[in-house]
């Protein structure tokens, strides 16, 4: 949709009108189907228009609110995953890489639960190079909102 400011050449009336496209306006104008809403004259032309510019402060405020909502949604989903992991996996802390290797290489050391813990990017890469599958999950401490 496009909005044009139109002006009647007969009575000098100025008014706005919506069209599905600029081509639609041209087509209606050519067929002489555009008329003044005051005097019904067909002598109507487009007048100068300025584009509608968003108020930068409004845009930033709305965008900030949207980003805050997205962040809150993301955090709530991460917290749901964290709760699931805490309830269904065993926390091994800083021993994660050691425990992961032990489980992978020692068939007798199978656990009834999976494990989770802390590891550096370098340690994770090393585990993956050895064929040990791991997942990195964003984590918020309970103290963080």
Query: Over the stretch 22-53, which tens digit does the pLDDT of each residue have?
Result: 899 999 999 999 999 899 999 999 887 766 66
Hey, what long-range contacts does 61-65 have (CB within 8 A, 24 or more apart)?
none
Query: Over the stretch 86-108, which tens digit does the pLDDT of each residue have?
Result: 999 999 999 999 999 998 888 77
- pTM comes to 0.50
């Amino acid at each position: 949709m496009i909005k044009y400011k139109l002006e009647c050449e007969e009575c000098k009336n100025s008014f706005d009108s919506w069209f599905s496209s600029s081509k639609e306006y041209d087509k209606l104008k050519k067929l002489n189907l555009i008329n003044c809403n005051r005097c019904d004259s067909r002598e109507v032309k487009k007048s100068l228009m300025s584009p509608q510019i968003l108020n930068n402060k409004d845009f930033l405020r709305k965008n900030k609110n949207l980003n805050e909502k997205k962040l809150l949604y993301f955090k709530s989903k991460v917290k749901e995953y964290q709760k699931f992991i805490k309830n269904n996996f065993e926390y091994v802390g800083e021993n994660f890489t050691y425990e992961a290797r032990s489980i992978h290489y020692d068939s007798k050391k199978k656990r009834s639960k999976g494990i989770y813990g802390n590891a550096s990017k370098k340690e994770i890469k090393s585990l993956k190079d050895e064929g040990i599958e791991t997942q990195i999950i964003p984590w918020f401490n309970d103290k963080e909102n």
